[in-house]
Amino acid sequence: MFHQTDIRTRLPGMTPFPVDVFPQEQPWLAQHLLPLIGIDLGILRPELAGTVATMLCPIEPYEGCIGEETEEHHNAFTGTNWIAFELTTDNRMRFLGDAGYFIGDQVQDSDAVEHIAEMRDSYAKAHAYFQAHGRLASYSRYGDGEPGEQAYLDRLGGQISGGNWTETAAIPTAFEIALDPAMYDRHRPDDAENVRITRDGKPFFAVAEVAGYNWCAAGADAIVMLYEPDSRTVLFSYDWT
């Protein structure tokens, strides 16, 4: 099984700051989600070569979890701290939720407005740094204002490992989550935290994880990205350590 951590050198099939990520019928997604890196899933499974999913960083929330203030717009594929996409045949990320799931620029809180502007500005600066130097650097609000070079991904492949993201909020009803006893080894108790997530009984596999602040001013400590090949579903959750 392919598994690497701290990916600082781009692998073939990895495209930082990809363009044309969202379908034409959902152009508003670009107001809410920052495309970090396209990942050819053939890196993880050769039979999926040419299938490219994009790691996305939500611009919101300023505080709390994404979706927790828009419950009236949740559905079977979206919920607090969970969002899902269908990967189209031309590798666009089609959101499986309602546009009202995102607060976006309708937010009234002045700190949240400042946060949104800072996220967009820091992303643009990171993109410019990449174009100039061919490496990723973050303009994190936790730094000194200078660019700090970062890993493109903190983790690529491997098992779906547990974390507080599995318990922060209930998974949307289109999916099921459970500990995976097939992965448990009593000699390696950490394996007890490996989880199994399915859609219609078909399992997701781990694609990648990265901290939002590797790329932007802020963000989750781990953006967790999963994929189910038959339905071409890309599922995200967020670990806040």
Q: Are 162 and 14 in contact (CB under 8 A)?
A: no
Angstrom distance (rounded) from CA 118 to CA 136: 18
Average pLDDT, stretch 120-140?
A: 96
Angstrom distance (rounded) from CA 37 to CA 87: 15
Decide if pLDDT at 151 tops 70: yes
Decide if pLDDT at 181 tops 70: no
**Ranges of each domain in the chain:** 3-239
Q: What percent of the chain has pLDDT over 90?
A: 80
Stretch among 63-67, 223-227, 235-239 having the lowest mean pLDDT: 63-67
Angstrom distance (rounded) from CA 220 to CA 141: 13
Between residues 105 and 205, which one has the greater pLDDT? 205
Per-residue pLDDT reduced to its tens digit, 26-50: 999 999 999 999 999 999 999 999 9
Angstrom distance (rounded) from CA 119 to CA 123: 6
Decide if pLDDT at 184 tops 60: no
Angstrom distance (rounded) from CA 39 to CA 156: 10
Decide if pLDDT at 110 tops 70: yes
> What's the confidence (pLDDT) of residue 192?
45
Task: Using pLDDT thresholds of 50, 70 and 90, give the confidence band for residue 188.
Answer: very low
> What's the confidence (pLDDT) of residue 182?
56
pTM over 0.95: no
Task: Using pLDDT thresholds of 50, 70 and 90, give the confidence band for residue 189.
Answer: very low
DSSP conformation letters of 181-199: GGG-BTTBGGGGGBEEEEE
In terms of Cα–Cα distance, which of 220, 94, 236 is closest to 172?
236
Q: What percent of the chain has pLDDT over 70?
A: 94
Angstrom distance (rounded) from CA 240 to CA 118: 20
Q: Are 125 and 34 in contact (CB under 8 A)?
A: no
Q: Are 231 and 199 in contact (CB under 8 A)?
A: yes
| 3-state SS class at 86 | strand
Angstrom distance (rounded) from CA 212 to CA 62: 13
- Residue 61, preceding peptide bond in cis (omega within 30° of 0): yes
- Give the torsion sign (CA, 38, 40, 41, 43): negative
Other Cβ atoms closer than 10 A to 14 = 20
Angstrom distance (rounded) from CA 173 to CA 27: 26
DSSP conformation letters of 129-143: HHHHHSS-EE--TTS
Torsion of CA 81, 21, 228, 210, to 10 degrees: -50
